[in-house]
Every structure is written in structure tokens, then in C-alpha cells.
Amino acid sequence: MKPAPFEYVKAVSVADAVALLTEHRGDARLLAGGQSLVPMLNMRLLRPSVVIDVNGLADALGEIALQGDAVAVGALVRYAEIERSSLVAERVPLLRHVVAYIGDRQVRNRGTVGGAVAHADPTGEIALVTLALGAIMRAEGPDGVRDIHAEAFFLGPYTTALAPDEMLTHVIFPPAAPAFRFFERGRKHNDFAVLSLAVVGRPEPDGTWRDIRIALGGVHDRPVLAAAAARALEGRRWDDALVRDAALLALEDCDPPDDFRASAEYRRHLVPVHVRRMLSALAGGHE
Amino acid sequence: MADTLPHVAGAPVGVGTPVTRKEDDRLLRGDGRFTDDVRPADALHMAVGRCPFPHARIAHLDTSAAERLDGVRHILVGADVVAATSVISPLRPTPGTPDLPYYALAPEVCVYEGHAFVSVAATSRHIAEDAIDLVEVEWEPLPHVTDTLAALAPEATVLHPAQLDSNLLSTNPMGPGADAELAAADVIVEDVFRVNRVTGLPMEPRAVVAEWRPGARRLTVHCATQVPHLVRMQLAETLHLDEGEVRVIASDVGGGYGLKLGAYPEDVLACLHSMRLVRPVKWAEDRQEHFRATTHARESVHRFRIAATQTGRILAITDTYAADLGGQYSSFGPAQLSSYTYPGPYRVTAGHVERQVVVTNKTPIGAYRGYGQPEVNFARERLMDRLAREVGIDPLEVRLMNLLTPEELPFTNLSGAIYDSGDYPRCLRMAADAVDYSGHRVRGTVRPDGRRTGIGFSSFIERTGYPSAKFLADRRSRYGTHESLTLRANRTGGIDLFTGVSTMGQGSETTIAQVCAQVHGVDFARITVHAGDTGASPLNTGGFSSRTMIAAAGAVRIAASELRAKTLRIAAYRLAVDPEDLTIDGQVVRLRDDPACAISLAEVHEAAIFGRGIPDEEDPGLEATAHYEPPAAAFAFGSAAAVVTVDPETGDFDVDRFVFVHDSGTVVNPLIVEGQVRGALAQGFGAALGEELRYDRDTGQLVSGSMLDYFAPTAADLPEWELLHTEVASPVTPFGVRGVGETGTIPPAAAIANAICDALSDMNLDITSLPITPESVWRAIAAASAGEGMS
């Protein structure tokens, strides 16, 4: 388990990293926390000719900051910093909540938000939360900066809308509905999710719910929004029958994989059960 | 054991003292010396190329590009190994089987994914792996079979056509039979139980450092092994050397569990490279290789049956099982203890067992903690609950009715194994009381949140040690049952203790020294243990089969008595008193009645070592070597109770409580016994609930061969175990000890399965395969519901 030979370059700025990506278009990898990249290098599953270390760019990419009423999380922010951030706790509590489900202490001390999003694991918790909260991915490339909505960012397993010469610099969380529930089930503690699920919504004084978003992980080739289910619930008062029917609609937006962790059949069984339970918990104010 | 009082420093240490391990200081300080810590300055590094297919012929192999890579020093292919070595001989062949000879590298055909076919020695591991990448191979994939039962089908491709005309390596029937009892039975419960392929995951994978000195004709091999003396024997045979030319050193070892029993192909390869290059050659297995190159375990399919009366009394037990061997033999081969322990702790006088060893295109199977006993325990204890259901008697009562009582022991079971002593029913009652089983029966299984709670039991025995050297010889096993030890007095008043039992976390340096301190009288702290070096220790057997204490306690007792007697004679001569009146008290020899009349051990030792001031009739020197073969195996025993809550809608379940009651005879060190029990329970839970080495039937690929996909539990995945024990001294071992290393692996699967089935007893579901996962429980519920619909 030793990596194939590669050239190591330490980027001195975002522009430098982008220039290096452009120079080695498609044959370079960015090294941030290294929690996925380094094992893949060691197993020789990836053989880039150049590894561009961006860990020196914390000044530009290591901040969690308010931008208007949105929270901008730099791509180099470590999971552990999310756990400790009072700004995140106050403004993006769901993001803080899911960090406890990521890896172990060592992983959380190294792994980065940008790395998680750019790696685009279909079971990743951070990616799930960006969908649930409608986050914006900010990327820098040779032609400048562009913003990509989370819903347009994840294209497939480990595949994103980033071009080979683009670098993710920030994940921006706009204000979102305040109430949420999160659920995850894996084969062991902190393992990749068999199913993960975030439901977000805003209870109105008239008893209806608005801005419903239901994000699912582990049950498609990428994290997905259960849009049909959310539509069925939007602007309505919920009762058990509505919640049950909406939960079944969640299956319309996913095509669960069949893999060693769980069969597609079992995942299809779990999706409506847990969507129903989380919606009920959200409505009832309990887990 | 949780309330064991800590040992106070300076107080005497002997059998039963909860003293912390001698090994702890060096291990906790990072000062252990594992094989990978052996770093000769001019070492070369080896990497091994492995077949990516389950079954393939090497049509063409070209190493020229690899040879040209800067830093590559030597490349071996199968033909080189065949020319230079003999086949690697198994230590424990399956009785009655043809030999399936194997070399360190496949010469022509690879029979499993991961089968080694080329090795490279280079100036760094990186370069060696780069060179493996450059080896050009043209593979001719052959038909493969990975499923154990499918391998027995007539149409299955035969993997070793030169030796076998099918994939059935052997059939080993045993037992008196049960035709009359089966015919007379009111009730017969039977099913097919599938036990998962798992592995032991030592923290330290395997490793070897070989160094050949041609002028001295010495091959020194540092090797992560449980059996340095047996590896020495195997290497000498394979490499055509005299045993005297080979020295094997194994200390420290980072976990063995049966996986490190005997020489592996990589050990031979490192030696061959070193002998060719006259440089030290190191290979340290990485975790990816470990999942393919180190033996797997357990995989078997049991057709198990219990026949009983309507009152729940067992009339007969039978088991016909297929044990998976993998693609070729390993040093220990498939587990053999299923055939000796399948009747369990019950009063069973009729039955039979038949083992069928089956060749498949998978990594070879070898020994693993439990060695066949967890497998049959799962099948038998599930069926005990089915029997209880059939006859309408509580599962606890059915077990109590059939458990052997203390008065019935010793008892010879269907396979000739002799259960020595113990109170089996008491352990089960203790487990039932601990989980308030009678209260559970009153409360029922339904919880307010819709989940269900059940309780399951699992009673077990474990053979620890071996019946005799003859027993092993009759089965062509190439080792004995004895342990041998040398004690050597030193001039600072301490004792050097030399043992061939390598230190792998089992605490044997400590426990053997405890017996030595008790018998001899010397301070425990002044005993220095030198373990696992064939150049220093007398020829022994090794650390496996829960046998170390049973045999080594006898050897150290003899040696320490002998050393003590001579020490007292010399001291008596110098003090001008009668040796009968002397005793050893820590670091002095003194008169029993007059502590002032004393001489230090250091002085006595020096007198003996220099041969000055000792009686004329005494030889100089002060050391003793003893060999001890235990007269019989000792049977550990116990019962477990699991309390499990199940979500019937999803199959999710939590083990709320797990009570483990066991007896390992006289306890030499309660702290070490507790550690052994907890470690084995963790592996028992892992194999029961998560771990599975699964091969894709179509591609023949191992699909769970990395830590990403192999669900070994972490501390966060395991419940708080409650440990209770009894302490019945075994009449057949020194001090009454029984082995303790493996028991925890045996009962978890059945206890948890039984608890789940109890929780959902109204659904009448069944669990017959491992691991038990939320999905498998969900499927069992669905199957039970479908069955109900049909009836």
C-alpha cells in the first residue's frame, strides 16, 4: 500500500493552485485533509501525476464568516472547527449536528468541508446538508469565480460540476428554514450510511409547514432531494395519513444502490419508514 | 471480576494475584519490539504480486521491465521457488486426506484472488510495489467456484485435478450413530446453518525479516508468529537447511488469534531473497494484503439436528457439515473442533458428526480463536430454542433439563472428548438471574414504543489444550502437546525465564512468571522473561489452542521446584543449617524460624554460577529445564444471556445487555482472564453481527477485503458486557487451570439470535445464517410473515 510515484507541489495561493490545475489538466489532485485522497493513493486506486497541497491556504480558505445573512465556510475548514464554531451552531445548526456522524476524532481533525463536498461521496453527510440547506458552492477557475447551486453540483458518484481546472473555495449557506431532523443508519458506528436523511422546514403560526426540503443520502448515486415528497407537504397542515403518503413519495426521487452494505430492496423499504419517522418527529418536536 | 482488588506493589505475587502485566510497561511506552521494528541498516524490502482472478493460469509472465527498474535487486517467480524449495508442509493436515502440496509462489495456476505469483526485493517498499506493477502477465482465466456447496456439485470445476477428482478433499465421520434414537424420537428439529467467513484482524499484520549469513550458515528470521519453533521446523524443511541453521525470533507479536500459526509463503520468500542477495530482507504485510494473504476462518455449512422426547429430553444430536478450505491448504487448515464439541454441554449419548472439507477459489482457511466451536454452538443453541418451542417448554428449562450435572462429570462425549469437571447448570442459572429472566417472562416482549425485547441463552463448552500427543500423532499433526521452559539463576539474584511461547498480548510472560514466583519463592519482579526466540528457549509447542497455561504451568512448576531445591541446598551449606529448615522469601534464603539467619539469593546464585563455596557433590551452575505434557484437555464452560430490543418495522436491533458467565478453572491472574474474555467477546460479537468476507459468486472477487467494507466492531458498537464467573478447579491440569483465550468467541451469535427470535416469538421467525444484521432480521421477519400467509 504505497502510492505510485507522483510530483508534490505546495500551492502558495488559490490562483497558484488553479494555475497548477490548468497546467496539469485532469492529471492533478488537490490535497486538503487527505482523508479520502491519501488512502486512494496508497491503494493505487488513483494515480495522479501531480498532487497539489492546498493546506497552506488557510488564510484564504480557512475561515467561517458571515456574508450578509449567509454563512460562508472556507473549503479548508476542518470538521472539528465546524464542531467548535458558535457561528455555525447559531446559524447552521444542522451542519454542526451532522459532524458528529463523520469519521472519528482523528478524521474530524483533518478532514475538510471542501474536501467532503468535492469528493462527492453519495453517502457523505456534508454533501447531504448542502442539499438540505440549499447551499451554494463557490469555485474559482482560470476564468474567475462562479457559484454552483448544490442541486446542480452533484452529478453522480464522486462526480461534481467542477471542471478539472476549477477549485472549490467556499460553501455558502444562505438562511434556511429553522426546524430540522437528521437520521443516519450504517453498518457500524460512523460507517458510510446505508441511509441518511435530513428534513428541514418552517412551521407557520397557522399550523402549516413551509420551505420543506428532504435530502437523502446512500440511496442514490448521489445525495438527492425528495422533491415530490416535499411538494406534497408544502404549505399544508400535516396529519399521519399525509405524512405516510408523502414519505412513500420519497421513493420517486431515488434509485437505491445494491451493495455490500445493504440491498436496494432493503434501502427502498427503509426510505419511506425513516422519512415518515423524521417528518413525524419534526412535526411533533421530538426525535 | 470487576470488583477484583488491585495488587499492591511489593506484596507477594503468585497464582491468583491480580498483578498488572510485565508486558505493559514496554507496550504502553511504545517500547515493544515488533517485527517491523527490526530495522537492519542495509535491509531490502519485499513486495508480492498477487493474482487478481479467483482461478487463472499464468499463460505468460515477463519480469524484464520490472528488473530494469532502478532499485530492484531480485525477482522470484514460481519456477524459481519450485527449483529452490520443497512444498510448505502443513502442521495440522485434515485426517485421511491426500496432500495438496503448495509452494510459496504459484508455479502455473492461481487458485484464489490474492494468490502470490511473483515477489520482488528492492531498496524500498515503494520501488518494490512499482516493480510489481511492471510485471507483465497474460492471464488465462479458468472457471471458478466460490460457494462452498456449489463446489461439491458435479458440474463444478475441479480445482486440483492432479490430486482429486472432485472438490471434496476429505470426509471424516465420527460417532456411535443414532438410527434407533432418531426413529424413536417424538420431536426432531433440524436446519441448515450457514456460518460466515471471517478473519481475526490482529493490530499487527504479518511481518518477516530474514537475514542469511553464508559464512556462518545461519538464517535468522524475525517473524510475527505464535509458534517460532514450528516455523523453524517448516522453514528448515522447505529451504533444505538443517534446523540448527535456522533461528526464528518472535517478540513482540501484535495479536495472533490463530492466524499466525506456522510458516506462510511470504516467510519462505523473504528467506529466499535474503539467501540469494546476502542482505536482510523485510516484508511487512499491509492491510490490503492481509485480507487476502492471511488465513480466513469459520466458513462452514452445518446440517444440524436434535432428536428429543416430547418432554424435551435430548435423544441424539447429529451434524453433517461442509467446511470450506479455500484454494489450497494452510498450516492449520479448516477448523477441526466442530467434530469434538458439537454435542455441547448436554447429556447426549447418541449421534454422529461428519466433516466434509471442500476446496473453493478463496483465500485458504486456517485457525481462528474458537476453531470450530462458535460454529456448532450457533447451530445447536438455535435448535435448542426451536426444540423448546416444539415441545412447549421454556428454553431455559429445556437447557437445564439436558445440561450435564456436576455428579455426571467426568463425561465422555460422542466424539470421545472427556469433560473433566464443573457445574454447568449453575452458570446458566446465574445468567438467567442476572437478566431477571423470570421477570421478563411476566413482563412480555412488547415495549411502549412498538419495539420488542427478548432474552436469549447460549450454553457452551470449550476444549482447552489437547487430549495427548498421541491424539495429535494419530491425526498426523506435526507437533506435540508439551511446553518446555528453562529457568536460569543470575548473579543479581533474579531468574531468567526462557520460553518459546511468543508474546502476543495474551499475558503469558506474566502468568508463567506468577507460577514461577509462587513455586520458587523469588520476587515476581526479579523474574525476567525471554520469550519467542528459538535460539534461547527449549523446544516447545507454542501459544495456541488455549493451551499455554495448561502446559507451561506444569513445566514451570517442575523447573522452579528443581531450582528451588538446589538453591536451598547451597544456602544450607553456606549457612551450616539443614535445607529442610530454609525457605526463600523474596530475595533472601532464610531459616523459617529465624529471619536473621539468612543469605541473599544473589550470593547463592553467584556461588553456584562460579562453582565456589558449594557442596562437593553439587555441580556448578544453577538452571533447570523442564518439559511437561498435560495428561488431558480441560474443558472450560459457561452460559451467556443476551437482552435484545428489536424494531420489527426495520429489523434494527440493539443488544441492551449481555451477561457472560464462565469458568476457566483456577484463575492465575484475574486481570488477564478478564482481558482475554473481553477480547474474545469483541471478536465473537464482530463475527456474529457484522464481519463477513464475501465473495461475488459471478466474478469470484472478495468484495469486502478492506477496512472500508469489513465491519469489525469498534468500542462504540459494543454493549457493556457483564462478566460473572465460577472457579471450579480442573482435576486434570496443574493448579486446576483451564484455558481461557477463546471462550468469548463461542456463545454470542446464538444468544443474540435467540433473543431476537424471543422478542418476535409471535412471528415465529428463524435465524440460521451469520452475520445477523438489521437487513437479515428484516428478511427473517418477512419470510416468517410469508410463511404465515401460506399456512
Measured between CB atoms, which of B286, B652, B778 is closest to A1?
A: B286
In a domain, A1, yes or no: no
Please list every residue in chain B whose beta carbon sits closer than 8 Å to the beta carbon of residue A158. Answer: none
Nearest by CB to A269, from B289, B713, B778: name it: B778
> Is a pLDDT exceeding 80 seen at residue B790?
no
SS (H, E, C) B573-642: HHHCCCHHHEEEECCEEEECCCCCCEEEHHHHHHHHHHCCCCCCCCCCCCEEEEEECCCCCEEEEEEEEE
Give the residue from A188, A276, A287 with the most B CB atoms within 10 Å of its CB, the best one to mutate: A188
**DSSP per-residue letters across chain A:** --PPP-EEEE-SSHHHHHHHHHHTTTSEEEESS-TTHHHHHHTTS---SEEEE-GGGHHHHS-EEEETTEEEEETT-BHHHHHH-HHHHHH-HHHHHHHTTSS-HHHHHH-BHHHHHHHT-TT-HHHHHHHHTT-EEEEEETTEEEEEEHHHHEEETTEES--TT-EEEEEEE----SEEEEEEEESSTTPPEEEEEEEEEEE-TTS-EEEEEEEEESSSSS-EE-HHHHHHHTTS---HHHHHHHHHHGGGG------SS--HHHHHHHHHHHHHHHHHHHHHT--
Does A193 reach chain B within 8 Å, measured CB to CB? no
Q: Which among A2, A43, A187 is the nearest to B711, CB-wise?
A: A187
Report cis status (omega within 30 of 0) of the bond before B252.
yes
CATH architecture of B482-623: 2-Layer Sandwich (3.30)
Do A117 and A202 have their domain in common? Answer: no
Report the greatest alpha carbon distance in chain A: 63
Pick the residue from chain A with its C-alpha nearest to B702. Answer: A260
Q: Exposed, middle or buried: residue A257 (CB in 10 Å: 0-12, 13-18, 19+)?
A: middle
pLDDT for B257 equals 97
Cβ distance of A2 and B778 shorter than 8 Å: no
Measured between CA atoms, how close is A70 to chain B, in angstroms?
Answer: 36
A146 lies within 8 A of chain B by CB: no
> Would you state the torsion angle of the CA atoms of residues B709, B715, B721, B726, taken in this order, to the nearest 10 degrees?
90
Spatial separation of the C-alpha atoms in residues B482 and B466, rounded to whole Å: 9
- Lookup result for grid cell 432531494: A225
With respect to residue A202, please indicate whether it lies within any of the assigned structural domains: yes
A103 in any annotated domain: yes
CA distance A273 to A231: 18
CB contact under 8 A, B714 and A269: no
pLDDT digits (tens, 9 = 90+) for B165-186: 999 999 999 999 999 999 999 9
Q: Between B288, B704, B774, which is nearest A260 by CB?
A: B704
Spell out the SS3 assignment of B451-500.
CEEEEEEEEEEEEECCCCHHHHHHCCCCCCCCEEEEEEECCCCCEEEEEC
Task: Return phi, psi of residue B248, to 5°.
Answer: -115, 130
pLDDT of res. A286: 58
With cut-offs at 50, 70 and 90, classify the pLDDT of residue B4: low
Q: Among A5, A189, A262, select the one facing B717 at the smallest CB separation.
A: A189
Do A94 and A159 lie in one domain? The reply is yes
A266/B778 Cβ within 8 A:
yes
Name the band, by pLDDT with cuts 50, 70 and 90, for residue B615: very high
pLDDT tens, B760-787? Answer: 999 999 999 999 999 999 999 999 988 7
Chain B interface includes A270 (CB < 8 A): yes
CATH number, domain containing residue A37 = 3.30.43.10
CB contacts, 8 Å: A191 with chain B: 711
**CB A191 to CB B711 under 8 A?**
yes
Nearest-CA neighbor of B655 among B573, B566, B753, B527?
B753
CA A233 to chain centre: 24
Over range B503-515, report the average pLDDT: 97
The C-alpha cell of B500 is what? 518459546
Contact A217, A182 (CB under 8 A): no
In chain A, whose CA is at the least distance from the CA of B778? A266
CA gap B103, B76 in Å, rounded:
12
Mean pLDDT of the B307-312 span: 98
CB–CB contact B714 A262 (8 Å):
no
Whether residue A209 sits in one domain with residue A119: no
Interface residue ranges in chain B relative to chain A, Cβ cutoff 8 Å: 125-126, 129-130, 133, 286-289, 649-650, 652, 690, 694, 703-704, 706, 708-709, 711-714, 716-717, 773-775, 778-779
Domains of chain B by residue range: 482-623
pLDDT value of residue B6: 60
Alpha-carbon gap: A1 to the closest alpha carbon of chain B (Å): 6
Q: Measured between alpha carbons, how far is residue B75 from residues A81, B65, B265, B267, B330 in Å?
A: 49, 11, 15, 15, 24
Measured CA to CA, the distance from residue A64 to residue A73 in angstroms comes to 5
CA distance A2 to chain B (A): 6
Q: Give the percent of chain A with pLDDT over 70.
A: 99
Q: Count Cβ atoms within 10 A of the Cβ of residue B7 and give its class: 0-12 exposed, 13-18 middle, 19 or more buried.
A: middle
**Sequence-separated (6 or more) residues with CB below 8 Å from residue B239:** B84, B85, B219, B246, B268, B271, B272, B275
Residue A275 and residue A215 in one domain: yes
Q: How far apart are CA B743 and CA B723, in angstroms?
A: 12
CA distance A104 to chain B (A): 11
Summarised one tens digit per residue, pLDDT across range B717-772 is 999 999 999 999 999 999 999 999 999 999 999 999 999 999 999 999 999 999 99
Q: Residue B527: pLDDT above 90?
A: yes
pLDDT of residue B1: 44
Across the interface, do A189 and B773 touch by the CB < 8 Å criterion? no
Across B74-103, average pLDDT: 93
Query: What is the value of ipTM here, to two decimals?
Result: 0.96
Q: Is A277 an 8 Å CB contact of chain B? A: no
Mean pLDDT throughout A80-102?
96
Q: What are phi and psi of B117, to 5 degrees?
A: -135, -10
For residue A258, give its domain range: 183-284
- Residues of chain A with C-beta less than 8 angstroms from the C-beta of B286: 1
The answer on A249 and A151 residing in a single domain is no
Please indicate, yes or no, whether residues A169 and A70 belong to a single structural domain of this protein. Answer: yes
Tell me if chain B has a CB within 8 Å of the CB of A262. Answer: yes
What's residue B95's pLDDT? 82
pLDDT at B2 over 60: no
The alpha carbon of residue B28 and the mean position of all alpha carbons in its chain are separated, in whole angstroms, by 24
At B124-151, the pLDDT tens digits run 999 999 999 999 999 999 999 999 999 9
Contacts of residue A44 in chain B, CB cutoff 8 Å?
129, 133
C-alpha distance from B690 to closest chain A C-alpha (Å): 7
Task: Please indicate, yes or no, whether residues A67 and A133 belong to a single structural domain of this protein.
Answer: yes
Average pLDDT, chain A: 96
Could you tell me if residue A72 is inside a domain? Answer: yes
pLDDT at B82 over 90: yes
Q: Which residues of A touch B776 (CB under 8 A)?
A: none
Q: Are A30 and A45 within one domain? A: yes
Q: How far apart are CA A82 and CA A62, in angstroms?
A: 11
Number of domains observed in the structure of chain A:
3
* C-alpha to C-alpha distances, B309 to A139, B182, B192, B306, B390, nearest whole angstrom: 75, 10, 22, 10, 10
Is the domain of A159 the same as that of A193? no
CATH of the domain at A131: 3.30.465.10
| Same domain, yes or no: A44 and A137 | no
What does pLDDT average to over chain B? Answer: 96
Do A198 and A147 sit in the same domain of this protein? no
Which of A106, A141, A173 delimits the end of a domain? A173
| Cis amide linkage into residue A122, ω under 30° from 0 | no
Same domain for A69 and A147? yes
Whether residue B791 has pLDDT greater than 60: no
